[in-house]
Copies of this chain bind each other. A is one copy, B any other.
Amino acid sequence: MTRTSARRRARGGARPDRSGGAVTQSAWTQVRYRTAPTNVLSSDQIEAIHEASLTILEEIGVKVLDPEARGYLQEAGARVDHGEEMVWLDRGLVEEKLKLPPSSFTLHARNPARNVQLGDDCAIFASVGGPAFVSDLDRGRRQGTYAEMCDFIKLVQSLNILHQEGGGPFEALDLPQESRHLDLHFAQITLTDKNWQPWGLGAERARDGLEMAAISLGCSREDLIGKPVFTTVINTNSPLQIDGPMGEGLIEMAKHGQPVIITPFTLAGAMSPVTIAGALTQQNAEALSGIVLAQCVRPGTPVIYGGFTSNVDMKTGSPAFGTPEYTLAAQATGQLARRYGIPFRSSNVTASNAVDAQAAYESQMSLWGAMSGHVHLLNQGAGWLGGGLVASFEKLIIDAEMLQMMAAAQQPFEVSDAAIGLDAIREVGPCGHFFGTQHTLDRYESAFYTPLVSDWDNYENWSDRGSKDTAQRANGIWKQMLAAYEQPPIDAAIEDQLKDYMARRKQEIHGNAA
């Protein structure tokens, strides 16, 4: 869509579709799997990938830039060349450390009603984190401000299907870079009562996240050990490198028993081999290296196996997302994570620059890969657009609809005499209809999924209401939802402590100039 048409659309979208009242949405709930996952690889093939990745760790090695990280690995028995910053892990060491992390854990929120289980048959959905730009139909793609970021976070709080704030939807470029994470964490804590993702880049930032989380829970940083309160994304620098800030962040989080999501960014054909099998093997080696490091820092630290294998367009070098290869890689990564008994992270991604059909079908391809692979943490679950460079307000709403549908498609339906309703079928008989039967009247209000943004009306009614497409309707919904937002209660003393902490840290970071 052009900027002109974006503005034109916005006039329609600015008027909420549903006047008054709250937006209709699914209730807050834990997502659980009820059908078997899809296995795209045989056990032999999974073993072949596992074995080859162990060979990589043993023979090729991983570059680890942080000396403390190399120290932990050396102490555990790894071969280390500090001059070359290289680490080699033998099979025995890897296999031993893989036994330590839990297959499932509770993720605590400052509101205990928002605690969720992550792992085994339980999944959670997180909002988009990290894009450089924000976008909506009214103003198009642009750099974001703190106020806009707060609006986005308020929507994440309002959408019941989202279990986690995913680490800041976009950069607040009106705030100084060095202390921006403090304002983000303040917003995450005070505007939501769900769990959230801190910044994991560097030991100092990691400590700020830990301190603020501890304040929010009325405890000390040390009290967080054994009580997971957030998950931190640790990306390896593919191929085969853990850089300094990532190593520091991982160590700081693991020291405090906080779950880390080790996510290699293995784009087949660029940062990994051009084959899915090769990309998965390298992904596995990198993920295992981070998992082992976390277990060396603190045995039993919860870890999450992050799968992000996709491919580049070999003509342009652009990354592709939500492709068939992405779907297959997600399903296979689920198998690898299950082999290790470690929770699996995947994502909801698209390369599309518009909130259109491609955005939806690429998201669906990645969502089905994730769900049929039994994802435990769906990171980047809602709001991602344009290859991850953009957080979109309208895509956030549309993704929430898709996630609601994914969760509903996991709900068992009752098969009992009462549900089958032979008596109703007998009563209606051939050529009748079921609208008025008692069987229908007893059940119709909750029988079916209720949509958030989908329009099921006929063409004439839809046209009469302005022929709004999904993105235009989503524009109305997020505005309606934002207008109805209510800040979750927080203890005034805790809010003051958070403000004091921020002020002190900003003083330390910026000196008097700030």
Contacts and interface: CB of A to CB of B under 8 A. Distances in A.
Given A320-B448, A470-B358, A35 B45 contact: no
Contacts of A139: none
A358 B453 contact: yes
Interface string A380-417: 00000011011000000010011001001101111111
Q: Report the interface size class on chain A.
A: 35 or more
A488 interface: no
Interface stretch (A96-104, A117-125, A191-199, A461-469): A461-469
A434 B270 contact: yes
A365 to B, nearest CB: 6
B38 A372 contact: yes
A386 B459 contact: yes
Interface in A69-111: 86
Contacts of A36: 36, 38-39
Contact of A269 (B239, B444, B459, B470): B444
A141 B324 contact: no
B360 A456 contact: no
Nearest to A276: B413
B240 A429 contact: yes
A318 interface: yes
Contacts of A430: 61-63, 86, 239-241
A497 interface: no
B470 A273 contact: no
Interface in A430-482: 430-435, 437, 439-440, 443-445, 447-449, 451, 453-459, 462-463, 466-467, 469-471
A484 interface: no
A364 interface: yes
Given A38-B372, A278-B424, 5 more contacts: A55-B422, A63-B431, A313-B456, A320-B456, A353-B463
6 contacts: A2-B467, A48-B415, A268-B447, A356-B356, A357-B470, A359-B360
